[in-house]
Structure 1
Amino acid sequence: MPSQRDRQARVATYVVYAVQGLSFASLLIQVANLQAKHGLDEGTLTLLLLIVPVLAGVGSVAAGAFAARLGSKLLLRIAQPAVAVAVVLTGLAPNVPLLVPVLLLFGVAVGAVDAGMNMQGVAVERRYGVQVLNGFHCVWSVFSMAAALWASVAAGLPLPLVMAIPMVLAVAGSLYAGRDLCTKDEEKADSVAAPAGGKVPWRPIIPLCLAMAFLYVGDAAVSNFNTVFMKDVLGASASVIPLAYAAYQAATLAVRLGGDFAARRYGPAAIVRVGGAIATLGFLGVVLAPNQPLGIVAFALTGMGLAVVAPQSFSAAGKLDPAGTGVAIARVNLFNYVGFIVGAALVGGIAEAADMRVAFAAPLVLAAVIIALASGFQPKPAVVPHKIY
């Protein structure tokens, strides 16, 4: 049975995921308002938005090196408040020259937190001895939705205030969680030595990295282009257009609620394989959708299928790094941003050259490849640790 200390670390990790979901969404959902505030054209906006995933990749790699030396607890105590500060400064920035360095800070910090929180999630999962990572990602989704609801309710308030108020809660949550997160020593399994030479091998991690990238190609396709597809291809009205993304997020949340149970019962490789198949079916449905209701159902299926990939990628990466250095997790997390950047460019480019239906065939093919990569989600640990309980 888990100890009281393990339960404290689990609660603290839930809070970290909640704060990250709240913080990230608090900036993301204000993109249109920031564009209007600074008078940005589409090209300039796209360049500014690319700053975040590019710098987040840098932050993720740096997080791996930092956590290997000092642990992810200290990393999160520094980086997570920095994310909140960057969100507030984004709302306050009076012009583009001041907005750019704020986005640089946000990108590096959010990448570090993404890596660090999953290091903590894997550490808790290791100490519990059962799958718990889907539950953490579920909390992230819930608080992302909460940020969107707050923005809707507070739409009449000044933009800096709308963005700042949730960040008060974010900083408070981060400070609270920082006390009880797993320490560097607690992130390690008992009686496990570091890998030979202090290095984690790349080869067994590659299938996880590829699956993470392909997941986020699909996520970028849905996130960036679902509204365009519903409006221009299916002729949806303003009231119907948002239902596609709402269905995608609701399906993602629903699957993650039961994801840990499914992983424990059937194994991570099996649920990733099924998830890849469902996502492939969903993207096929998007390509072929003859009307709006079936289009919405198809977007929901993509969310249902893709939902399991990220938590299981991090869980499997943790098994490949039983010494708890965080290096494997940081590598996998990097491909989150690679996939998102490639997805936005790939789908957008195909849509411009051909049409939007053809563009969604790209994530369809990559979702199918996830099925073939599923066996990599049940790797043999680099070192077999002694059981803790």
Structure 2
Amino acid sequence: MRRNSWSGFGVIVYVMMSFCEGRVDLPPNVTVPAVFAFGDSIVDQGMNNHMATLVKCNFPPYGRDLNNAVPTGRFSNGKTPPDFIASELGVKELIPAYLDPNLKPQDLPTGVSFASGGCGFDPQTAQIVSAIPLSDQLNHFKEYIGKLKAAVGEEKAKFILANSLYLVVAGSDDLANTYFTIGIRRRQYDVNSYTDLMVSSASNFIQELYKLGARRIAVFGPPPIGCLPAQRTLAGGIRGCVPRKKIRLPKRFKRKLSPHSLPRQAPQSKIVYVNIYDPLLDLIQHPQTTGFEVSDKGCWDRKHRVVILCNKLSRTCSDDSKYVFWDSYHPTERAYRVLVDLILHKYINALE
């Protein structure tokens, strides 16, 4: 796998990947020294292990297919998107959490995750479950920059920050929990004004990342939350997707969180919106096309379906490769692999 340093040009998820016969090749002369992740549980690599939060997964059956079946704090049975993307870019196999007590100085130059399960663009979302809000994730990043400069020097640190890939994945918990399930924000905002709040917060966060040296930023849109197993269960165990607002709200946020809504005054940068809504919806509605069999519930025991996350008593399916979802909210390792490949395959033609 070649690395890349495409001067001043952008998000590697889009910018430098071609998909051919199940592997990703990078254009010549491109260097991606590190991968960083911010946001929620989709890219939380274990930050919540070290927090007094309600959202944890540092126990079995999580992580049963990774790291000798020792749970790492990833909300899946194995690898998650930061791991797959870093591996395809030739950076390293696993992206660690910044607060991992086993993190070594030599791990810093290749990237870490600051993400916290339960976080959202809406600051109140993280407060509800005592997750790490985006503002504190930025503070951790500032602390990281100081450590990086001490480890590799000012000039090399500047190069790493400018040429690395930054993944920003948030919004699902805002929509699914803060607005709908808990409903706190529905007393203050209608659908239109709440999505405006989210987009404004996302834009401000990207601007702050840019000020700290980020130049290649992939902002992931929301999933089809009305089709997630958790939402189906909360709606009474319906087989289809939850109708009306739970479908329309993510679509509205998706339309607003477009390249036109993201910061424009960012010279020598590439800030790209990644549409995950449609690929995941297709995977849910047509699982057989990619070899899955079950997409309306998670791999773990049906008795616990009313719970969004697995618990220590959960019994899991015998073959999670047949399932799109691991628990009621998060995809399996194989589903993540398929989604990452679909994203890379879809966008390369627009960047050639």
TM-score (norm 2): 0.29
Larger helix fraction of residues: 1
TM-score (norm 1): 0.27
